Amino acid sequence: MSETTDKKDFIREIIDGDLASGKHETVITRFPPEPNGYLHIGHAKAICLNFGLAQEHARVKAKCHLRFDDTNPSKEETEYVESIKEDVKWLGFDWGENLYFASDYFEYFYDCAVELIKQGLAYVEDDSLEEVRAKRGNVNTPGRRSECAERSVEENLDLFARMRAGEFKNGEKVLRAKIDMAAPNMNMRDPVLYRIMHAHHHNTGDAWCIYPMYDFAHPLEDAKEHITHSLCTLEFEDHRPLYDWFIEHCPVPSTPRQIEFSRLNINYTVMSKRKLLQLVQEGHVAGWDDPRMPTISGMRRRGYPPEALRSFVVGTGITKFKGTTDVAVLEHEVRDYLNKEAPRRMAVLDPVKVVLENWDEQPMDTASVPNHPQNPDMGERQIPISSEVYIERDDFMEDPPKKFFRLGPERYVRLRGGHIIQCTGYDKDADGQVSLIKAKILPDTVGQDAPEGVKCKAAIHWVDAATSVDAEVRLYDRLFNCEDPDGAEGGFLSALNPDSLATVQAKVEPALADCEAGFSCQFERTGYFVADSKDHAPGKPVFNRTVALRDSWGKQSGR
């Protein structure tokens, strides 16, 4: 699937309209994460949208800012700032000079608040959180305004200055906008602008003890940066009137417009930062970048290429419809990219030794194996081979059914890139498990079709017993085995897949050995892909073994 599209979603329509009408001469967007967790695939949608818009409008010098919305010091950490930058870069986007922190505007926010007070549009509230809540009413009943709303401008100015000066304790006072306590939109019932929080801020240290609320700060941040189109998710729809109210009543250098779109939902996946944090803190996963996590860093470690993530989120489109995308679409994009771009390697996850009894009849030092079956430009590699090789346990059956095409007593199969072999016998251990397979090579079958009368329909993975490398391979599956973990009866933790991680002692070809701590992901049809654990770079070798997971010969399954 293409990463670019001619299709115009409603946001692009609006932007084109604004450009055409002359309302704006350029487009400036922003990606404004709060640094309180790692980025996940849902953020990738916002990143691709905002940065993508800037790229598409390069002709009018469009830009996309990276802005950390760090107005709540109790939840934010520098570690998250760094990981977010890394993930945005890895996804393939560049904010250039345009890196900002909401906390750098604290003085400006303060000035705006003072200005609102002077206009009689904001007041200092003495009521406790509980009282404020009780007086706000609910969706059916209008709220009651506190007596504090009657304070004079001078008194409010004085009180607000003393809030900043640290004269009050947390929760003792709060600054509110004076709007409409009977508004059907609850956000307009005298929303809180500033709260007192004696806390250390990752950027401003101890300079402040009052911090602005999102609703107040965000439109001002956008205006300050001359953002033309402020894109956010659907849950902020009801906040837009408030957004516009602040733009109207504060001294702003520009008038940004908020536009909402639907956030990304994927089945078998939890996307809330709170839940992801819980998975990390309670040790259900190894960390934010555990390959099973839907985080950008987790997917990176799992071998998902950034190209696939981008084409996936672009493909799901921008709408206001709240749907759930099938995780199979994501997996398809990953497979699609890896299939085209990744050089192939061989590995055996559950090895059984095969002795080639007549090796002397046509011995080879190396087998020549193409690095990519459809792309000769990737060349071939020479893999050492000798009279003893390992093959996958699943590739041999003592009593194979009719449509099993691989090895069995008297049967033929090709060693990929090598000879066709025929099984001549096998040993079993005390447990009845096959411990050794004996076979003979058919001379003159390397690179040749099967001779007359030889039924050989499959080519299997193998590694040389003498030169293969032992490797611990971790196999990853979906973290949740329930389509809607958020809606699981026993909570999302009860939907955790106990088999999401398995470790096997595999034997891999030497060329795969540099993929240290290799891991794989299991796709329903495609079997395993193994990539490097640190990063997926273009051209990184991939172990792509295909087995019949949904077999045509019967019920037994590949895994």
Partner RNA sequence: AGCCUCAUAGUGUAAUGGUAGCACCCCGGAUUUUGAUUCCGUUAGUCUAGGUUCGAAUCCUAGUGAGGCUACCA
Q: Mind telling me the catalytic residues?
A: 34, 263, 273
Q: Which of 139, 365, 431, 432 binds RNA (CB under 7 A)?
A: 139
Would you count residue 462 as binding RNA (CB under 7 A)?
no
Binding window for RNA (CB under 7 A); candidates: 20-28, 397-405, 432-440, 496-504: 397-405
Q: Of the candidates 210, 286, 281, 216, which has an alpha carbon nearest to the alpha carbon of residue 249?
A: 216
Name the minimum Å distance from CB 134 to RNA.
Answer: 9
Name the minimum Å distance from CB 423 to RNA.
Answer: 14
Would you count residue 7 as binding RNA (CB under 7 A)?
yes
Binding window for RNA (CB under 7 A); candidates: 110-118, 246-254, 410-418, 421-429: 410-418
Would you count residue 262 as binding RNA (CB under 7 A)?
yes
Q: Which of 277, 328, 493, 501 binds RNA (CB under 7 A)?
A: 328
Would you count residue 100 as binding RNA (CB under 7 A)?
no
The string of DSSP codes covering 29-84 is EEE---SSS--BHHHHHHHHHHHHHHHHTGGGT-EEEEEE----TTT--HHHHHHH
Would you count residue 149 as binding RNA (CB under 7 A)?
no
Binding window for RNA (CB under 7 A); candidates: 42-50, 335-343, 350-358, 468-476: 335-343
Q: Which of 43, 310, 344, 478 binds RNA (CB under 7 A)?
A: 344
Which positions from 201 through 260 interact with RNA, judged by CB under 7 A? 211-215, 218, 234-239
Distance between first and last Cα of the chain: 29
Would you count residue 485 as binding RNA (CB under 7 A)?
no
Identify which of residues 405 and 426 has a Cβ nearer to RNA in the complex. Answer: 405
Identify which of residues 63 and 406 has a Cβ nearer to RNA in the complex. Answer: 406
Would you count residue 448 as binding RNA (CB under 7 A)?
yes
Dihedral of alpha carbons 218, 220, 226, 230, sign: positive
Would you count residue 315 as binding RNA (CB under 7 A)?
yes
Six-digit token string for 548: 């019949």
Cα separation, 412 vs 427, in Å, equals 18
Six-digit token string for 492: 């999302």
Q: Are 44 and 31 in contact (CB under 8 A)?
A: no
Burial tier of 20 (Cβ tally within 10 Å: 0-12, 13-18, 19+): exposed
Identify which of residues 76 and 289 has a Cβ nearer to RNA in the complex. Answer: 76
Name the minimum Å distance from CB 366 to RNA.
Answer: 14
Cα separation, 313 vs 551, in Å, equals 32
Cα separation, 472 vs 463, in Å, equals 15
Amino acid symbol at 210: I
Q: Which of 546, 556, 557, 559 binds RNA (CB under 7 A)?
A: 546
Which positions from 176 through 195 interact with RNA, judged by CB under 7 A? 184-187, 191-192, 195
Identify which of residues 61 and 186 has a Cβ nearer to RNA in the complex. Answer: 186
Name the minimum Å distance from CB 292 to RNA.
Answer: 20
- What is the per-residue burial (b if ≥16 Cβ within 10 Å, else e) of 107-120? ebbbebbbebbeee
CB neighbour list of residue 71: distance below 8 Å, 6 or more residues apart: 102, 103, 211, 212, 213, 214, 217
Identify which of residues 446 and 488 has a Cβ nearer to RNA in the complex. Answer: 446
Cα separation, 347 vs 354, in Å, equals 15
Q: Which of 505, 553, 557, 559 binds RNA (CB under 7 A)?
A: 553
Q: Which of 18, 34, 180, 484 binds RNA (CB under 7 A)?
A: 34
Identify which of residues 199 and 504 has a Cβ nearer to RNA in the complex. Answer: 199
User: Helix (H, G, I), strand (E, B), or coil: what is residue 547?
Assistant: coil
Would you count residue 406 as binding RNA (CB under 7 A)?
yes
Cα separation, 251 vs 220, in Å, equals 9
